[in-house]
Structure 1
Amino acid sequence: MPDSLPLFPLNTVLVPGAALGLRVFEPRYLDLVRDCGRHGTGFGVCLIAQGTEAGAPATPMAWGTEARIEDFDNGPDGLLHLRLRGGRRFHVTRTRVRDNGLVVGEVAWCDPDPVAELQPQHALLGDVLRRILEQLGEADVRVPEPRFDDAAWVGWRLAELLPLTLPQRQRLLQEDDPDRRLDDLLGML
């Protein structure tokens, strides 16, 4: 049975484990954040397939990532600022739009990534990630527990940090196999 998940269509792709800053100002999304806080739940972030971030409800892509609120504050602009972290991936099987304009998806959760050791043919990607993280420093990227020998972790961090196009990042999000994801990343480099 699919789960119901409120969706926040954006012009970005959130991948598992990635951090995302978000400013919230529309009433439907302020209500969403309040409900998530009350119930200790997350919401789905999907790349916009059609439409825009503000105004009329946008049509989301069929794959997304659960977002969990790590921190929030009122910014100097008077808007609610959220710090999100990507969690589980999901596939949207159906959507509906509530009266307030909030898109709600019926979602099937993707299986968690298997724990798989970084293969020798992907060792270069582990080195690239180490160098990126060294250059960025801890202040710019909060990487919980580095796992440079874990194929899925390396792939998701590179998907988060490399200057990829939105279609490239979306394709990586939709790939279930960590080694194929790394093969795709090698091809993009």
Structure 2
Amino acid sequence: MLREAPLTLGLFPLHSVLLPGATLSLRVFERRYLDLVSECMRESRGCGVCLILIGDEVGMPATPAKYGTHARIEDFTTGTDGLLHLRIRGGRRFRVATTHVRDNGLLLADVDWCEYDPDDELRPEHATLGIVLQHMLDQVGGEHAKAPPARFDEASWVGWRLAELLPLQESQRQALLQLDDPHARLDRMLHWID
């Protein structure tokens, strides 16, 4: 298998974990992030989102977690507060190899891509999680509520949607993001639910 070349991504370090397939709303006002958004739009590329381990979302560059998610801007508008509002969607997971800071304070990361999740079906021990997810989506609605029935048999998709909807701490979501095996993610959530 050919190894993909590392890529440099501008980072949004946040106090939230962006999961693959999930959306997140952001308000952008710092010059470094406005510059990043401008670059992403101009060059039709995404950026990275990592959980903050040390620091804050504003001010000095924060220390990000070693795993993050590639994000694409889906929509943007100027809010009534005059700030740029973004909706981003999580894509592929990555591992941060090194970081450096631009002159404007933007944190850049050289990243290695994580493997895509396999198209595995739910294992029998996880079948109830597919049912739980279906019931949750029936209650809360949203974009995934109209998913075809076959999706509720996909280990990866069920795991990411549960990680998005369950009342987990961000550190728990980060732990799931760092697991390469969708069945291990489901095992972890099953343990937490028990």
TM-score normalised by the chain length of structure 1: 0.96
Please list every run of 5 or more consecutive structure 1 residues that lacks an aligned counterpart in the other structure. none
Superposed CA RMSD: 1.0
Q: Residue 49 of structure 1: CA displacement?
A: 1.0
Q: Residue 182 of structure 1: CA displacement?
A: 0.3
Match of 2:91 in 1: 87
Q: Paired residue for 2:42, among 38, 41, 57?
A: 38
Superposed, 1:99-118 pairs within 5 Å as: 99-118=103-122
Distance 2:143 2:105 in 1: 33
What is the DSSP-based 3-state SS (H/G/I as helix, E as strand, rest coil) of the residue aligned with 2:153?
A: coil
Q: Paired residue for 2:189, among 182, 185, 188?
A: 185
Distance 2:128 2:121 in 1: 14
Match of 1:6 in 2: 10
Q: Residue 76 of structure 1: CA displacement?
A: 1.1
Q: Paired residue for 1:169, among 156, 166, 173?
A: 173
| 2:53 corresponds to 1:52 | no
Q: Residue 119 of structure 1: CA displacement?
A: 1.0
Q: Kindly, what percent of the aligned residue pairs are identical?
A: 62
Distance 1:58 1:93 in 2: 16
Aligned residues: 186
TM-score normalised by the chain length of structure 2: 0.94
Per-residue CA shift, 1:119-141, capped at 9, x if unaligned? 1110111111111111112xxx2
4+ long deviations beyond 4 Å: none
Per-residue CA shift, 1:94-151, capped at 9, x if unaligned? 00000100000000000100000011110111111111111112xxx22284511100
Match of 1:121 in 2: 125
Distance 1:119 1:153 in 2: 13
Distance 2:46 2:22 in 1: 14
| 2:143 corresponds to 1:142 | yes
